[in-house]
Amino acid sequence: MIFSILLVLLLGILANKLFTKLRLPGLLGMILVGVVIGPYVGNLLSEEFLSISTDIRNMALILILLRAGLGINKEVLKKVGVTALKMSFIPCLLEGAVITLVGHFLFNMPLYEAGILGFILAAVSPAVIVPAMISMKEQGLGEKRGIATIILAGSSIDDIFSITIFTVFLGLSTSGEVSIGKELIGIPIEIIGGIVLGLIIGIIIVKVFKKFKFSILEETFLLVSMGFLIYVIGNLINVSGLLGVMTLGFMILEKSEEKAKLIESSLSKLWFIAQIFLFVLIGAAVNVKVAFGAGAFGIAIIAIGLIGRSIGVIIALLGSNLNRKEKLFTVIAYTPKATVQAALGAVPLASGVASGELILAVAVMAIIITAPLGAIAIKGLAPKLLKE
């Protein structure tokens, strides 16, 4: 396992540096390293290490969402709250519905299986989007209109809708029995529960910080530990732990802006290492050979879905104060796929869904196409389309 860790860190750092020098997103280089050294190409990582790769990716994701929460200002959130709420479900539902209908009527997939495909693809990737939005905030781009906050808040809830509806279609396809009403009612419970959990832990940690004197490093690690705790509790009680983690960061910022800035600065150093593991291991989960199995169908269905998502973003932004360039940027920023597709792509196949192999192939292809192109577009177009 030590050799695997060494390989990930060494090659990840070098790839990040090289791609940054080439003015490309560093994450693209790290994902490519993961593909090359992963089990489907070079097979250089130990099975022991790969067996805990999901936990490592989740820990890195918790870290970046905590940083995101530390940067969400209450006044900005109030201003863009309605728009962020619309962004959290309209693009996802429209993309998922479009793929489901097109897959069923145009490509003759069984309805439930088309729905499984639709809502695996409908999830955006916090792993790609959140670091990009934090970088954008650091550059001061789109700050006056709260564009980064809209995208951060919306994308953190987007996955809840897509995963829940995916679960409904999977249940209908495999057993024919699922409580649709119960699953859908679970969406607001999961969202509200995650926020409440984050608020409760946030209040406790703020009181602890006031009562005891800690160094910034100690406070940082204590906060990260609480982020992990929220994620674990969230999984146990079926609420959104990731949304709770963002809420925890938000609470710290609300109670002490100065402390939040110091902790965020400390977290940014931890993120340098965490991002390497996150993106390299996302790349390691990508089976390029499987992706080729999707062929023209895969490319077509992904493109059609993104058109549906783009229309959904435009609908969600109606009534906002964003101009055309800012709306165009938001459409682009909402395209990357990776996290959910890597996590759930193989589930239908393992569950015995007839189209499982095709669904996995399209999910992998979506990562290969949208994660790098989305990351490149966000980085390249943010300075051109956004003002301060």
Q: Which two tokens stand for residue 193?
A: 């529960």
Give the pLDDT score at 286.
85
Helix axes 74-105, 111-121, angle to 10 degrees: 150
200 burial type by CB count under 10 A (0-12 exposed, 13-18 middle, 19+ buried): middle
d(CA 63, CA 125): 15
Give the pLDDT score at 87.
95
**3-class DSSP assignment, residue 72:** coil
Q: Of 85, 239, 227, whose CA–CA distance to 154 is shortest? A: 85
Give the pLDDT score at 185.
80
Give the pLDDT score at 309.
97
The pLDDT tens digits for 52-101 are 998 998 899 899 999 999 988 888 888 888 999 999 999 999 999 999 99
Task: Supply angle C-alpha 243, 344, 82, rounded to 5.
Answer: 35
d(CA 43, CA 264): 36
Give the pLDDT score at 110.
92
Q: What is the CA radius of gyration of the chain?
A: 20
Q: What contacts 308, CB < 8 A, 6 or more positions away?
A: 94, 95, 97, 98, 99
Q: pTM for this structure?
A: 0.87
Q: How confident is the chain (388 residues) per 10-residue block, as mean pLDDT?
A: 94 94 89 94 94 90 91 85 93 97 92 95 92 90 89 90 92 74 80 94 93 92 95 92 92 88 91 92 87 88 97 96 94 92 88 91 93 93 86
Helix (H), strand (E), coil (C) string for 319-353: CCCCCHHHHHHHHHHCCCCCHHHHHHCCHHHHCCC
Helix axes 111-121, 295-316, angle to 10 degrees: 60
d(CA 261, CA 58): 24
176: number of Cβ within 10 Å: 8
d(CA 137, CA 147): 9
Give the pLDDT score at 177.
64
Q: Of 162, 251, 156, whose CA–CA distance to 204 is shortest? A: 251
Task: Break the chain into its structural domains and give their ranges.
Answer: 2-385
2-385 CATH fold: Na+/H+ antiporter like fold (1.20.1530)
Give the pLDDT score at 388.
60
